[in-house]
Homo-oligomer: A and B are copies of this chain.
Amino acid sequence: MTTAIVNVFLKEGVLDPQGKAAHHALDSLGFEGVKDVRIGKQIVLQLDTDKEKAEQEVKEMCETLLANTVIEDYSIEIR
């Protein structure tokens, strides 16, 4: 069993309203020193393929479904 961890984040320069909201809420709660908050998705896949095939397969999954590559970047980690 192979575990693939995909992190999907909005590209630099794309407004992140969820992160902005969390940032404001942290300020309101009195947490000082927070300069920036960005919120992305972490997708953990359990795959029944070997590690060599997994990376290419997960890349295809990201391109077709898991990430919106117009506004999002992704990184893949195979364990």
Interface residue ranges, A against B (CB under 8 Å) = 1, 7, 9, 19, 22, 25-26, 29, 31-49, 57, 60-61, 64-66
Q: Chain B contacts of A48 at CB under 8 A?
A: 32-35
Q: Are A22 and B66 in contact (CB under 8 A)?
A: yes
Q: Are A37 and B29 in contact (CB under 8 A)?
A: no
Closest partner residue, chain B, to A60 (CB atom): B31
Given contact pairs A22-B65, A41-B42, A65-B22, A47 touches B29 in the complex (Cβ within 8 A): no
Closest partner residue, chain B, to A39 (CB atom): B43
Q: Are B42 and A39 in contact (CB under 8 A)?
A: yes
Complex: A2 Cα to B19 Cα, angstroms: 17
